[in-house]
């Protein structure tokens, strides 16, 4: 567990290094599909090493993981808006906020909440994730204008295609898994 | 009970944040936010010397007392700028003759002053039938002033991989007092015309 926390810290540190930041933020797919998920992952890893004494007060107000899920949805909505991607590139305050909010308000509550969600809750999360990826994909492929002023339109199209593909992958895994897995309830905690 | 309370707090705080962050759910992109900001609080245009396609130099003050309809272009552009300039052309052709040049002036500004020489601008002006007295096709006289100009108008220009640029194209209206008051889609001359009619 401690090892995962160290890995989380290392990942966050690596992502914050100016040259890594520049490399990932240089393109829209790098920014949206690598940096942002990795920031979430670093928070997830960080949280897994927290002693239970620290987690307990949070968990008292987090039955069935509902509060954590609400926090994740709100934060994800905020960072899904194209203007905030632009803002993170143009204004250091937004960039700092991104590096704090994604690990702390998405990664950490994901760790705290996932194990507490019911099977229906998890199903809801997965299906909404797929739906959201496809809606975003459709938006990026169909938008007649660039949604981000800092990125080229070809990249926007590429991101649209990748989101579509990612949605298909997740949907396929979800659909196929019940037929291979020995017990459908044996879901891994992320 | 605690969970219900905490969830409600999170959702309310989140909704409030998103409401604020999208200018009350009116702007979801930087472009949308820029247009909204300009229409709610007009901003002054920086003073700057331009050089037009005849080689003449002038500053923005020349347009004081007139409505200025402008766009940003580069003459090597193969898509957006052409549409934007067709929009300017439509506006020019639809304006009452008494207004054109006297009350309303069109202006194209190149953001590629190094490659867009006066000669190049003249060729471009000819292609669009732009005449210097009511539609100077120009470039910043001093290339160093370009970033300040672009940032005042909220134009982001990034070089693409084919020697060209990608940029947020739009039609801008500067009022008689020299304030940027409205931004329109680059392919919607009707919206600009009806705005001008009300001025």
For A77, which of B10, B18, B158 is closest by C-beta distance? B18
**CB neighbours (10 Å) of residue B97?**
7
Q: Could you tell me how far CA A47 lies from the centroid of its own chain?
A: 15
- For residue A155, what is the nearest residue in chain B, using CA coordinates? B160
Q: Which pLDDT value is given to residue B28?
A: 86
**CB neighbours (10 Å) of residue B31?**
23
Query: What pLDDT, in 10s, does the model give residues A45-62?
Result: 999 888 888 888 889 999
Q: Determine whether the interchain pair B166/A153 forms a contact, defined as Cβ–Cβ distance below 8 Å.
A: yes
- For residue B31, what is the nearest residue in chain A, using CA coordinates? A149
Q: Determine whether the interchain pair B166/A146 forms a contact, defined as Cβ–Cβ distance below 8 Å.
A: yes
What is the DSSP annotation of chain A? Answer: -HHHHHHHHHHHHHHHSHHHHHHHHTSHHIIIIIIHHHHHHHHHHHHHTS-HHHHHHHHHT-GGGHHHHHHHHHHHHHHHSHHHHHHHHH-HHHHHHHHHHIIIIIIHHHHHHHTTS-HHHHHHHHHHHHHHHHHHHHHHHH-SS-S-TTS-HHHHHHHHHHHHHHHHHHHHHHHHHHHHSSSTT-PPP-
Residue A180's pLDDT band (cuts 50, 70, 90): confident
Query: What pLDDT, in 10s, does the model give residues B113-139?
Result: 989 999 999 999 998 889 998 999 999
| Residue A189 pLDDT exceeds 70 | no
- For residue B161, what is the nearest residue in chain A, using CA coordinates? A152
- Which residues in chain A have Cβ-Cβ distances shorter than 8 Å to B17? 74, 78
Q: Mean pLDDT, chain A, as a whole number?
A: 90
| Residue A26 pLDDT exceeds 70 | yes
Residue A145's pLDDT band (cuts 50, 70, 90): confident
Q: How far apart are CA B82 and CA B71, in angstroms?
A: 11
Q: Determine whether the interchain pair B18/A78 forms a contact, defined as Cβ–Cβ distance below 8 Å.
A: yes
- A93–B contact, CB cutoff 8 A: no
Contact B87, B187 (CB under 8 A): yes
Q: Which pLDDT value is given to residue A131?
A: 94
For B22, which of A81, A86, A153 is closest by C-beta distance? A81
Chain B closest-CA separation from residue A19 CA (Å):
20
Q: Which pLDDT value is given to residue A53?
A: 86
Contact A109, A72 (CB under 8 A): yes
Q: Which pLDDT value is given to residue A117?
A: 93
- Which residues in chain B have Cβ-Cβ distances shorter than 8 Å to A147? 29
For B3, which of A67, A71, A87 is closest by C-beta distance? A67
Residue A183's pLDDT band (cuts 50, 70, 90): low
- Which residues in chain A have Cβ-Cβ distances shorter than 8 Å to B166? 146, 152-153
Give chain B's contact residues with A (Cβ, < 8 Å): 2-3, 5-7, 10-11, 13-15, 17-18, 21-22, 27-33, 156, 158, 160, 166, 168
Q: Which pLDDT value is given to residue B196?
A: 93
What is the DSSP annotation of chain B? Answer: -HHHHHHHHHHHHHHHHHHHHTTTTT--SHHHHHHHHHHHS-EEPPP-EEEETTS-EEEGGGGTTSEEEEEEE-TT--SHHHHHHHHHHHHHHHS-TTTBTTTEEEEEEES-TTT--HHHHHHHHHHHT--TTT--EEEESSGGGHHHHHHHHT--EEE-TTS-EEE--EEEEE-TTSEEEEEEETT-HHHHHHHHHH-
Q: Could you give the percent of chain A with pLDDT greater than 90?
A: 71
Q: Mean pLDDT, chain B, as a whole number?
A: 90
For A67, which of B6, B21, B32 is closest by C-beta distance? B6
Q: Among A78-82, A104-108, B81-85, which range has the highest average pLDDT?
A: A104-108
- The CA distances from residue A118 to A130, A181, B77, in Å, are 19, 18, 56
Contact B189, B94 (CB under 8 A): yes
- A84–B contact, CB cutoff 8 A: yes
Rounded to an integer, the average pLDDT of A65-86 is 93
Which of B59, B177, B157, B43 shows the shortest CA–CA distance to B110? B157
Q: How far apart are CA B139 and CA B74, in angstroms?
A: 9
Q: Which pLDDT value is given to residue A182?
A: 59
Q: Which of A21-25, A92-96, B39-43, B54-58 shows the lowest mean pLDDT across its residues?
A: B39-43
- A165–B contact, CB cutoff 8 A: no
Residue B80, CB half-sphere, CA atoms under 13 Å: how many? 19
| Residue A102 pLDDT exceeds 90 | yes
Q: Which pLDDT value is given to residue A14?
A: 96
| Residue A185 pLDDT exceeds 60 | no
- Structure-token pair, residue B67: 């409505």
Residue A1's pLDDT band (cuts 50, 70, 90): low
Helices B189-198 and B80-94, axial angle in degrees (round to 10): 40
Q: Which residue's structure tokens are 């609080």?
A: B41
| Residue A172 pLDDT exceeds 70 | yes
pTM of the complete model: 0.79
Q: Determine whether the interchain pair A62/B166 forms a contact, defined as Cβ–Cβ distance below 8 Å.
A: no
Best mutation site among A57, A145, A154, A157 for testing chain B: the one with the most B CBs within 10 Å? A145
- For residue A87, what is the nearest residue in chain B, using CA coordinates? B30
User: Which residues of chain B have a pLDDT value below 50?
Assistant: none
Residue A168's pLDDT band (cuts 50, 70, 90): very high
Rounded to an integer, the average pLDDT of A81-96 is 93
């Amino acid at each position: 567990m401690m090892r995962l926390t160290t890995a989380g810290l290392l990942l966050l540190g690596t992502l914050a290094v100016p040259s890594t930041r520049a490399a990932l933020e240089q393109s829209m797919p790098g920014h949206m599909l690598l940096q942002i998920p990795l920031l979430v992952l670093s928070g997830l890893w960080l949280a897994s090493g927290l002693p239970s004494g620290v987690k307990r007060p949070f968990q008292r107000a987090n039955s069935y993981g509902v509060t954590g899920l609400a926090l994740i949805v709100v934060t994800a909505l905020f960072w899904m808006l194209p203007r905030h991607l632009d803002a993170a590139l143009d204004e250091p305050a937004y960039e700092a906020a991104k590096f704090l909010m994604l690990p702390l308000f998405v990664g950490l509550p994901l760790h705290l909440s996932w194990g507490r969600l019911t099977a229906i809750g998890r199903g809801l999360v997965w299906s909404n994730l797929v739906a959201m990826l496809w809606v975003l994909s459709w938006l990026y492929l169909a938008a007649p204008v660039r949604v981000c002023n800092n990125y080229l339109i070809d990249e926007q199209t590429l991101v649209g295609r990748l989101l579509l593909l990612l949605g298909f992958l997740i949907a396929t895994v979800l659909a196929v898994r019940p037929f291979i897995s020995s017990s459908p309830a044996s879901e891994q905690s992320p | 009970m605690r969970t219900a309370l905490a969830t409600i707090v999170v959702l309310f705080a989140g909704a409030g944040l998103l409401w604020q962050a999208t200018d009350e759910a009116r702007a979801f992109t930087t472009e949308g936010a820029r247009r909204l900001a300009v229409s709610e609080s007009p901003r002054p245009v920086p003073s700057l010397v331009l050089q037009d396609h005849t080689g003449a130099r002038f500053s923005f003050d020349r347009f004081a007392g007139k409505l200025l309809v402008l766009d940003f272009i580069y003459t090597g552009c193969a898509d957006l700028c052409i549409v934007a300039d067709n929009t300017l052309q439509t506006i020019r052709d639809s304006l009452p003759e008494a207004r054109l040049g006297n009350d309303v002036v069109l202006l194209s500004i190149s953001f590629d002053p190094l490659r867009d020489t006066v000669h190049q601008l003249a060729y471009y002006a000819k292609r669009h039938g732009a005449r210097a007295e009511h539609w100077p096709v120009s470039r910043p006289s001093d290339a160093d002033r370009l970033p300040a100009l672009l940032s005042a108008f909220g134009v982001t220009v990034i070089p693409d991989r084919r020697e060209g640029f990608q940029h947020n194209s739009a039609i801008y209206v500067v009022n008689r007092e020299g304030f940027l008051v409205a931004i329109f889609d680059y392919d919607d001359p009707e919206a600009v015309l009806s705005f001008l009619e009300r001025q």
